Amino acid sequence: MKGIDISSYQQNVDFNQVKNNGVEIVILKASEGKTWQDPTFKDKYNNAKAAGLKVGAYHFLRGNAPQDEASNFLNMIEGLSLDCKLIIDAEVDLGGIETTSNQVKAVKDILVSKGYDVALYSGEYFYNTNLNNSVKDIPLWVAKYSNNKPNVSSYIGWQYSDVGNVPGINGYVDINEFLEGILLTNNCSNGTCNITTPTKETWEFYISGDLVKRLQHELNIQYGFKLDEDGYLGDKSLNALESVAIKHDAKGNITRIIQERLLQLGYKLPRYGADSDFGDETANALYKFQLDRKLIPDMVAGINTFKELFRK
């Protein structure tokens, strides 16, 4: 889906022209830091919605108290019917990798605690060098001004140009290609709105087939999800895995699937093989796998580990 993002720099936007020229999504800057609020935000929101565009909002992150940053953002979007995840824009070093990552995570946690679904915006280089694994599970909208796809593990949006021309907007504008993962299931201003439609673009990052189909079946049986058991690891399956953590002493078919995938990838379980029992052998194999994939080596199969296990 073609999308643009705009702020107070873009004045007098004709959103009907924008819509008529193939744009489906517009992401608006709402706020920055603990006090700044875009004075054009509400008018742009109303006009974009009236034109039939899908609308989202982003907050430019600074180094203030996380509650102040989150409150500034929430005050701007209160009562609105947004179509997209709330976006945290992280592109400024706030005092090193750990400090910057902690700020992102803290603001994200506050927004999630209020019932909102959240995504992260960042540039490819900044994301890879200035943020740690504590925020790499947040769905990513990434900026890389190139014809080459971003060098990140996965993304739900790619800002590929900052010098785009779109009828209805004076001057240059950022151009994006968004996947379905940027959207909420419903037009809602709060309440957790999980993605329910897997997309081919998402599937292409991951293996498909019987092993994925068995994983989907076990998620349905053990956790009560209603996944299509189609063998494709799309958005809905990935969202389901966010609530799963398989660790030492776990038993059952999901453990067996993890063991089988580790064996496929060349990690040895020399004593028992895929026996459905998460013992020391499996923990050691998973530890080596996590180190190799630059994950936190906690020997727990959570969302980031599942993504790497099933990545092509």
Which residues are the active-site residues?
5, 91
Q: Whole-angstrom Cα distance, residue 282 to residue 260?
A: 10
β-pair type (36-37, 157-164): unpaired
Task: Describe the crossing of helices 253-264 and 210-223 by its angle, rounded to 10 degrees.
Answer: 160
15 by Cβ neighbours in 10 Å (0-12 / 13-18 / 19+) ranks as buried
In the numeric block, the tokens 């489906």 are attached to 24
Residue closest to 196 by CA, chosen among 232, 231, 227: 227
Q: Is 137 helix (H, G, I), strand (E, B) or coil?
A: coil
Q: Which alpha helices (H) appear in 225-302, and where do they start and end?
A: 235-241, 253-264, 280-292
Residues 6+ apart with CB under 8 A from 288: 267
C-alpha span between 219 and 124 (Å, rounded)? 32
For residue 12, what are the contacts with CB-CB under 8 A and spacing of at least 6? Answer: 170
118-123/173-178 β-pairing? unpaired
Q: What is the DSSP letter of 150?
A: P
Give the CA diameter of the chain: 69
